[in-house]
Amino acid sequence: MASTIRVRATQSGDTTEVQALIQHPMDSGFVKDAKGETIPPHFIQELTFEYDGKSVFVADWGAAVSKDPYVKFSFKGGKKGDDLKISWIDNKGATDTTTAKIQ
Amino acid sequence: MRSGTHFAPAALALAALAFAAEPSALAADTPNPPADAKAFRDFFTQKFPKLKLEDFVNGPYSMNEDMHRQWEEKEQFPPYEFSVDMGKEMFSKPFKNGKSYADCFPNQGIGIRQNYPYFDEKEGKVVTLELALNRCREANGEPPISYVKDEMAALTAYMAFTSRGKPFDIKIPNDPRALEAYQSGKRYFYTRRGQLNFSCATCHVQSPGERIRAEVLAPALGILNAMPIYRSEWSGMGTISRRFTTCNSQIRGVPLDPQADEYRDLEYYLSYVSNGLPISGPGARP
């Protein structure tokens, strides 16, 4: 299985712009399936972007975030060729991590 | 309102063109697909004189500047990417008998989307890409998959992705049954049905660029070139089968089974009249 995280980080001037797309069902727990049974909640709780050992972006997410969420933000600093580490953990304890090079 | 005032003459023009395509010298029931396709294309290019022909494949994004900007941003990070990857993986993974999807298709299934659907003279019916994929599975002892989403969408997304930019090249062989299939597809396209009494053409010929509730309607010209699509409304991928059945239920009609003969014919007609326009699938739609 390929990574659930797609990232693109581009540095220009003194900021780095980051875009990420994460594959996750993000079930809210309020939706029923075709048989009328509730789909149990299953969503990302914490999403972290780390650069140079420091968190540059941390999101506390809940059931209200849509399926396959997309994030875009920028932070001060960042150098071309450096690593940006992205990880998430969901309410079932599942997790995924990936590292992207800043371009 | 601006396009509303354009609408009446345009509809008349279509009617005129439709009749012009079948001059009275020929019996009115003599089908003439090349003339149909030309009239169809001309109707849309006259209705939207600013658009380039290849822009039509981007549906509502070509109709509205705001949406076009959003789309450009979206395309930098397209939501169908996961599906293309899944399709690629499925394509490379052999079936239990050691064969794979690639063995069922010309050129290993790469870059051939523009040739589907085609008319199979042995069977005497139209064969769509989705149908061919499930037949490939069954011929290799695998259970068929759902026509509407997930795996089927992933496979067609990958096949469309490898065919991007290639112009639709649908042929009507010299076989009366092929012409009949084309005519039946055309009939389906223009026949009103459902509680709302809409035909496919009501939305996608009369009113592209207009809003239906919050959405902008796509032109019928090039509408299949972008399939399969990731629809934000569905939060997932959908195939041509999904689009047809959903359209039918939205007009409060009873949808047919996916890949029913009528849908196969409809896909044949609609693809034929978009001949020459490039494959742009998989697409993303709001």
Residue A7, pLDDT > 70, answer yes
As annotated, the residues of chain B forming the CATH 1.10.760.10 domain(s) are 2-77+171-285, 81-161
Chain B from 74 to 103: CB within 8 A of any A CB: 76-77, 79, 81-82, 85, 89
Q: Between these two residues, A79 and A46, which has the higher pLDDT value?
A: A46
Euclidean distance between CA atoms B240 and B217, whole angstroms: 16
Query: What is the pLDDT at residue B193?
Result: 94
Rounded mean pLDDT, B48-73: 86
Query: What is the pLDDT at residue B197?
Result: 95
Query: What is the pLDDT at residue B27?
Result: 53
Rg (CA), chain B: 19
Name chain A contacts of B82, Cβ cutoff 8 Å.
Answer: 23, 68
Mean pLDDT of chain B: 87
Q: What is the DSSP letter of B278?
A: B
Q: How many residue pairs bridge chain A and chain B with CB atoms within 8 Å of each other?
A: 20
Residue B90, pLDDT > 60, answer yes
Cite the beta strand spans of chain B per DSSP E: 118-120, 125-127, 211-212, 215-216, 229-231, 236-238, 283-285
CB atoms within 10 A of CB A38: 11
Task: Using CA coordinates, name the residue in chain A closest to B85.
Answer: A2
Reported as a single tens digit per residue, the pLDDT across A49-67 is 999 889 999 999 999 998 8
Torsion of CA B177, B137, B129, B252, to 10 degrees: 90
pTM summary value? 0.82
Name chain B contacts of A67, Cβ cutoff 8 Å.
Answer: 235-236
Cα distances (Å, whole numbers) of residue B43 to B2, B61, B97: 18, 19, 50
Rounded mean pLDDT, B136-149: 91
Name chain A contacts of B231, Cβ cutoff 8 Å.
Answer: none
Rounded mean pLDDT, B71-87: 88
Query: What is the pLDDT at residue B1?
Result: 42
Rounded mean pLDDT, B43-49: 91
Which percentage of chain B shows pLDDT scores above 90? 65
> What confidence tier does B59 reach under pLDDT thresholds 50, 70, 90?
confident
B2-77+171-285 folds as Cytochrome Bc1 Complex; Chain D, domain 2 (1.10.760)
Of A2, A19, A23, nearest to B77 by CB-CB distance is: A19
The range of the structural domain enclosing residue A71 comes to 5-101
Helix, strand, coil percent content, chain B, rounded in steps of 5: 55, 10, 40
Number of domains in chain A: 1
Residue A1, pLDDT > 70, answer no
Tell if the CB–CB gap between B76 and A6 is shorter than 8 Å. no
Q: Are B158 and B266 in contact (CB under 8 A)?
A: no
Query: What is the pLDDT at residue B3?
Result: 47
CATH 1.10.760.10 fits B81-161, yes or no: yes
Classified as helix, coil or strand, A72 is strand
Tell if the CB–CB gap between A6 and B235 is shorter than 8 Å. no
Rounded mean pLDDT, B207-227: 90
Pair type for strands A95-101 and A83-90:
antiparallel
Let me know the angle formed at the C-alpha of B165 by B160 and B168, rounded to the nearest 5 degrees: 75
Euclidean distance between CA atoms B214 and A11, whole angstroms: 36
At A18, which CATH number?
A: 2.60.40.10
With tokens 């909640």, the residue in question is: A41
Tell if the CB–CB gap between B235 and A66 is shorter than 8 Å. yes
Annotation marks residue B104 as catalytic: no
> Is this complex scored with an ipTM above 0.85?
no
Residue B217, pLDDT > 70, answer yes
CA-wise closest residue to B101 among B139, B147, B153: B139
Rounded mean pLDDT, A72-94: 90
